[in-house]
Chains A and B, each alone.
Chain A
């Protein structure tokens, strides 16, 4: 049987050539390493040693910053849990007020009013319990314990200030208690006062949603920074660990191998977004 001729498409041939080149590259760099022909090292040992120590220290500094960021995440989560519970309480207060609007007797309305006041009281208790390690983002912003500055680098130059907002029922969320604006007034149910209370509750809900989305935004910033800091710590540790044995010859060879490996496509760069791609293609 006649042998079928083997033909390579131009794409395959290009691949083959690049593979052959890789092999030659590697052979050459390995030979250079094996012969150990010493090129003057740009780093003499004491310098490398102290540089390594400095990087390790920096990694340690950053690690403590990262712990602070984790604490800040906990704080934001505590505040967010508080907000969610307050929202539930407000919904409960609203249903009490709505029931009072359609109450048959003034006695029934009065009972609902006192239950409503109790719910407002619970909101304040919830606010007081939403702190984490002495900071409470739901307290009056003038209160010193209501802000936290999260530092992202060891100098603290890069930071994010978490500012609290007052979520207490009357002073913060402007809810109206039935003791200041009575639901039963002059022997009759005061629909005006009850409706005003409902409007205040609706507004409070809007405020809480806004604050909640601010918190979510801050949370994502802190999380992103946390990941970045972890990356920095890893790189500093990697670098420091290898720095003392660094040899410019070896580094050159390693770098060449890395370049070749990347050229073969193990690390793809093709993830630029469509928008960024279309911009860069113009150059």
Chain B
């Protein structure tokens, strides 16, 4: 079954290694008829944007998804990041476990979705201590 995507004017997405941009002046609809890595502009995190422990994890999973050929090196980095996170905040282990399960099944897109929850959780945890640091 084809996946239907709508792209606003000027909006970009990653489609199986290619960056596709809607160059027209109106929205366009794309039908993706086979299984390829797809990442919409709003879901893409750049290296500069990966500025917190959980965002870094998101960034690495994103690389696993769009660049499966270099999986081995990304996996190594992933474990380093996850290890540090779980050491710092053990309560993240349940979410991390669910993310691991998705990665193990090579469902990187689902892993990314779960990691977004992890980022939201991280923001909540950080907000508890940021009260005293926000003026710095």
Residues of A within 8 A of B (CB): 21, 24-25, 28-29, 31-32, 39, 42-43, 48, 51, 55, 58, 152-153, 157-158, 224-225, 227-229, 231-232, 234-236, 238-243, 245-246, 248-249, 251-259, 262-263, 267, 269-273, 275-276, 279-283
Contacts and interface: CB of A to CB of B under 8 A. Distances in A.
Given A263-B51, A273-B69, A225 B133 contact: no
Contacts of B83: 234-235, 238
Given A228-B104, A270-B47, A282-B12, A235 B133 contact: no
18 contacts: A24-B136, A42-B91, A51-B93, A55-B97, A225-B104, A227-B75, A232-B100, A243-B93, A252-B126, A252-B129, A257-B88, A258-B85, A258-B88, A267-B84, A270-B47, A273-B69, A275-B17, A283-B12
A254 B129 CA distance: 10
B51 A25 contact: no
B132 A236 contact: no
B6 interface: no
B38 interface: no
Please classify how large the interface on chain B is, using the bins under 10, 10 to 19, 20 to 34, 35 or more: 35 or more
Interface string B113-128: 0000000001001111
- Secondary structure dominating the interface of B: helix
Interface in B1-34: 12, 14, 17, 19
B47 to A, nearest CB: 6
- Secondary structure dominating the interface of A: helix
Contact of A239 (B74, B96, B136): B96
A21 B136 contact: yes
Nearest to B91: A246
A152 B126 contact: no
A272 B105 contact: no
B132 A279 contact: no
A269 B60 contact: yes
B47 A235 contact: no
Given A258-B53, A282-B19, A276 B67 contact: yes
Contacts of B72: 224
Interface string B60-102: 1001001101111111011111111111111111101100110
Looking at B59, B86, B127, B129, the one whose CB has the most chain A CB atoms below 10 A away is B129
A259 B136 CA distance: 15
A279 B66 contact: yes
Contact of B79 (A32, A231, A275, A279): A231
Contacts of A243: 90-91, 93
A252 B125 contact: yes
B53 A255 contact: yes
A267 B87 CA distance: 15
A255 B47 contact: no
Contacts of B63: 272, 276
Contacts of B75: 224, 227-228, 231
Nearest to B50: A269
B129 A253 contact: yes
Nearest to A247: B91
Contact of B88 (A245, A251, A272): A251
Given A271-B73, A279-B66, A280-B46, A258 B84 contact: yes
